Structure 1
């Protein structure tokens, strides 16, 4: 005896936050923030895209997802996966922690490889007041802009190394980025901003050199790059660590800085001054960015917390 249509019918699969994330091109964490009213660090465009995807898919949040952002604790989570440890990150965390403490909140820093779902589970378990996920593409712009300032503000800081090199007569500047997968989100943002800065400065182009961490392998990559871009006279690295790899790669090739290639880093880590030649770099007021992030996380005004402009620390390499 055949089944009736009613007996054989199967319910449609339930739409999940993962489906909304896939449709809107963001992480599940970002979806949770947007749909639970805690997305102050997420751009308006991203929020609208997530909400539209949820409407289109007829997504209904479940009870546990709603509870994610309704906790009453004074804990703020910071996920730093994929962010290079250095002076900038350390200062950012110090500023974030100090500002939260002044408002009777506690900072909990998470390291390691956490999935979006795992991060959401942790936030729910501690009833987190807010989550700042620096490992999420949705937060990359937020980190760079101080969580709420316009992209133009950070673009002005990204302009600093380009303007410095242009003032020294360089018209062909390349950006040096890492080949580490964990850093691709922030590295991609830096690449876009450097390209914008080069364009604003009237430069014809700003090619990208991707270097591995091993100096010998980096030297081989640099040799190929110079053959393809013989006009490049200066390299603006993603951070100080990569700038030092660049200088080591140049040494393997018998190149001198700044005579053959000028090199400038970003972040002003202490060991840059110990290298020979000492590394020219860019110093950021990351502590103020951390304080601003704390204010945004707590929904407080940020008046009076504008970071100092980035500035070049001139040494020997550039």
Structure 2
């Protein structure tokens, strides 16, 4: 029989304080005047109950606010993120909370000052902090999602692969490209070449450089994959004859493009719902994402 995981509320009851105080103590929140005796009592109760604070949400203050702030940071604003936010908002709404999405540090600070949220979810930090989510939902799971992408190409017989990245990648795109390289290494494939996607002329030159060197392109996003397909058309190259191309995210544009783009579908909405449950310190075991899978179309 599965034992229920101790929650913040359990620790609060056992130590005789509020859940907010437990959160402040477990997260070492600054600017909180909590006596050392109370801190010791909370930590002892947490240890006795086997409670471990999730790194996902940080309660800011005790109060009546029913708002959760999602700090997206510099993450790509693609269909995957959109679905993720939809799932997060749906689950928070079911629990009586409203979601406020912040796309910059400046707007995050303004949001906190204005509404005094129940919690802040720093998605950018989770995205770059290995092991931040034990079930691999958003960080470690990203590697497995790209493993699905590269494994699909390997099963089709491709060994020499290029990864399509922005010409000026930010830290998130660099991390995602590293996931692709790790996936290739895990599958015993050569290290992927880099195909930078920028302006039309630069992308065309990058595609021409890879023709004859690699047989497939794994793009970090569908939008990058579509830019590669456009450059291939300008170069007079066929797809998948000269180059197979696979995107990531399964956007609506992937199916509408000609030729339709093969892409990786991630159940981002369910990952969002799981994150909402963890942010509110609720059980998430009954919320299982569907397996990541490849939607094969005409480009592979």
Could you state the TM-score of these two structures normalised by the residue count of structure 1?
A: 0.71
Q: Is the 8 A contact 2:86 2:272 kept in 1?
A: yes
- CA change 1:217–1:231 in 2 (3 A) is closer
SS of the residue 2:264 aligns to: strand
Closer, same or farther: CA 180–79 of 1 in aligned 2, 3 Å: farther
1:98-177 correspondence runs (5 A): 98-111=90-103, 113-115=104-106, 119-134=108-123, 136=124, 138-141=125-128, 147-150=133-136, 151-177=139-165
Distance of 2:210 and 2:60 partners within structure 1:
48
Separation of aligned partners in 1, 2:91 and 2:261? 32
CA distance in 1, matches of 2:94, 2:246: 36
- Partners in 1 of 2:142 and 2:202 — Cα distance? 32
Q: 1:311: how far off?
A: 0.6
Verify the 8 A CA contact 1:75 1:126 in the aligned structure 2: yes
Selected match of 1:189 from 149, 155, 175: 175
Distance in 1 (alpha carbons) for counterparts of 2:91 and 2:27: 24
Once the two structures are superposed, residues 178-203 of structure 1 have per-residue CA deviations (whole angstroms, 9 ceiling, x without a partner) of 1355xx23212211211111011110
How far off its partner does 1:86 sit?
3.0
Residues 141 and 289 (structure 1), Cα distance of their counterparts in 2 relative to 1, 3 Å cut:
farther
Gaps of 5+ in 2: 1-25, 31-52
How far did residue 124 of structure 1 move?
3.6
Equivalence for 2:215? 233
Going from structure 1 to structure 2, the CA distance change for 1:249 and 1:146 (only over 3 Å counts) comes to farther
Partner of 1:277: 259
1:289 pairs with one of 266, 271, 294 = 271
State the number of aligned residues.
250
Tell me the SS of whatever aligns to 1:157.
helix
> In structure 1, what is the Cα distance between the partners aligned to 2:94 and 2:154?
42
Counterparts of 1:219 and 1:238, CA distance in 2: 18
Instruction: Flag as ranges the 4+ runs of structure 1 deviating above 6 A.
Output: none
Query: RMSD of the TM alignment (CA)?
Result: 2.6
1:110 Cα offset (Å): 2.4
Q: Comparing 151-160 with 89-98, which one deviates more in the overlay? A: 151-160
Partner of 1:255: helix, strand, or coil?
coil
The TM-score normalised by the length of structure 2 is: 0.75
Q: CA deviation at 1:291?
A: 0.4
* Offset at residue 254 of structure 1 (A): 1.2
Deviations along 1:241-267, one digit per CA (max 9) or x if unpaired, are 110000001111111111001000001
Contact 1:79-1:110 at 8 Å conserved across structures = yes
Q: CA deviation at 1:121?
A: 4.4
Deviation at 1:97, TM superposition (A): 0.6
In 2, the alpha carbon distance for the partners of 1:288 and 1:146 equals: 17
Closer, same or farther: CA 109–153 of 1 in aligned 2, 3 Å? closer
